[in-house]
């Protein structure tokens, strides 16, 4: 087992990793930018190293500074968390080249799944169902028109290196294809320095269903069920739940087994999440995230598996220690992402936190690095907390979540707590009747009512 782990991240995930390490008897090193010197994980870690000024490119994305901090402190492993360098194959290779363990899958696997074209090819070869689309890169408008005709409109032009909704444009008919193709390529180049695009059938009312995978270096792979992440705004997840209200037991068993078998065939090790679009009873591979997910706590709630702990264990060379039949699913869980944003305009709202009171009680969990008196910086993602609630029934979870949101007090900044209160009170959400477009339609309707 590792003796010292450097946590190459910030905020709630850095604190989450620190807590897992502490419970395993592992010392931690926190790295931080100048504006994060007073962050909670920095205060709690055994050692802390400042790696640069506030801009992420000069600190949390500074590969050399992070590796130098690991060498200087004698860390034998680096945990990247999510975001930043967590899916950067070059960084993982640099870490390993310095004799330090990267807590994540192999650089080869990160690189394969990081490019959506190669990921789709790997998905097909490993038996995952995929959305009908082009065979690799589409280079010209003429080729794009050919594929549009072959697949059938509407289609979506997508950046191979994309993420967060960037480099994605929909064409509903041939007359829209040229603009969609050009705009997607230009946006991909400016966002990812890579203008490779491909084309897929555009699903109009799908749900976003993802399967949590966990494997070791000895061919053992299990799935930990599904999460429904369909509540999104601008392609960013807002609220997640597990299990999905859209699936029946046979469907979730089937897609879980397909996902686990595919990863076993690929030789995947460590944590990973396979994301699907689900429409009319069919699953279609979307992408794979080769890291721990923001929403992993709801899976931990319904399975009892400590995902971060087991991620560290298998990275150290340990055997997973359990099989698929050992995984038991218990009840329901939901997670609300609480952001420092105006709940109506979504304008970021950094600033100093006044009173801070988190909800408690049975099966209520709050993951956050915030505290009273802490100043939320304007330099990073606006998420300040995750509220996770578990219960025996979905209705019970909704009642508990309603109560927990009422108890949550964050003064000094605006947050999206009121938005979550509106969402979980809506009859369609209560009935589980939503898809990936539902939230934006809900927001538009609420805006009209308030005008």
Catalytic machinery residues: 291
Listed in sequence order, the DSSP H helices in 29-106 are 40-44, 63-73, 89-97
Residue that is written with structure tokens 């509220």 in the block:
387
Q: What is the DSSP string of 249-311?
A: HHHHHHHHHHHHHHHHHHT--EEEEEEEEEETTEEEEEEEE-S--TTHHHHHHHH---HHHHH
Radius of gyration of the chain (CA): 22
Q: Please state, as a whole number, how many other Cβ atoms lie within 10 Å of the Cβ of residue 184.
A: 27
d(Cα 265, Cα 90) in Å, to the nearest integer? Answer: 24
Q: Are 416 and 356 in contact (CB under 8 A)?
A: no
Q: Are 294 and 275 in contact (CB under 8 A)?
A: no
Q: Cα 202 vs. chain centroid, distance in angstroms?
A: 22
d(Cα 59, Cα 44) in Å, to the nearest integer? Answer: 20
The phi-psi region of residue 83 (left if phi > 0; otherwise alpha if psi is between -120 and 50; otherwise beta) is: left
CA atoms within 13 A on the CB side of 109: 22
């Amino acid at each position: 087992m590792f003796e010292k782990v450097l946590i190459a991240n910030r905020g709630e995930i850095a604190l989450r990793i620190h807590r897992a390490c502490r419970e395993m008897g592992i010392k931690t090193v926190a790295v931080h930018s100048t504006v994060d010197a007073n962050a909670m994980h920095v205060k709690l870690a055994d050692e802390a190293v400042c790696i640069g000024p506030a801009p992420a490119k000069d600190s949390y994305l500074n590969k050399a500074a992070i590796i130098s901090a690991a060498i200087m402190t004698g860390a034998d492993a680096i945990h990247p968390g999510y975001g930043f360098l967590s899916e950067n194959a070059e960084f993982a290779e640099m870490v390993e080249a310095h004799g330090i363990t990267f807590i994540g899958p192999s650089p080869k696997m990160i690189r394969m799944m990081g490019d959506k074209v190669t990921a789709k090819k790997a998905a097909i070869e490993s038996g995952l169902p995929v959305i009908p689309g082009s065979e690799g890169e589409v280079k010209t408008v003429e080729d794009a028109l050919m594929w549009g005709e072959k697949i059938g409109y509407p289609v979506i032009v997508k950046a191979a290196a994309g993420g967060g909704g960037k480099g994605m444009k929909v064409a509903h008919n041939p007359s829209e294809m040229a603009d969609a193709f050009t705009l997607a390529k230009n946006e991909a180049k400016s966002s990812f320095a890579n203008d490779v695009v491909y084309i897929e059938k555009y699903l109009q009312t799908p749900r976003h269903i993802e399967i949590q995978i966990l494997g070791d270096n000895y061919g053992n792979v299990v799935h930990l069920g599904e999460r429904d992440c369909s509540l999104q705004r601008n392609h960013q997840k807002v609220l997640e739940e597990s299990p999905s209200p859209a699936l029946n037991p046979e469907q979730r068993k089937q897609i879980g087994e397909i996902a686990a078998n595919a990863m076993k065939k690929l030789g995947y090790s460590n944590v990973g999440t396979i994301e699907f679009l689900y429409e009319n009873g069919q699953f279609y591979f979307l992408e794979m995230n080769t890291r721990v997910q923001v929403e992993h706590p709801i899976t931990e709630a319904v399975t009892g598996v400590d995902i971060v702990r087991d991620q560290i264990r298998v990275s150290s060379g340990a055997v997973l220690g359990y099989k698929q039949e050992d995984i038991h699913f218990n009840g329901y869980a939901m997670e609300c992402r609480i952001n420092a944003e105006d709940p109506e305009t979504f304008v970021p709202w950094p600033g100093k936190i006044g009173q801070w009171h988190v909800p408690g009680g049975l099966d209520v969990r709050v993951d956050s690095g915030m505290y009273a008196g802490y100043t939320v910086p304007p330099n990073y993602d606006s998420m300040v907390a995750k509220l996770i609630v578990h219960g025996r029934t979905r209705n019970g979870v909704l009642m508990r979540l309603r109560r927990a949101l009422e108890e949550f007090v964050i003064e000094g900044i605006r947050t999206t707590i009121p938005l979550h209160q509106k969402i979980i009170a809506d009859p369609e959400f209560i009935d589980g009747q939503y898809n990936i477009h539902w939230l934006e339609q809900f927001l538009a309707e609420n805006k009209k009512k308030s005008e």
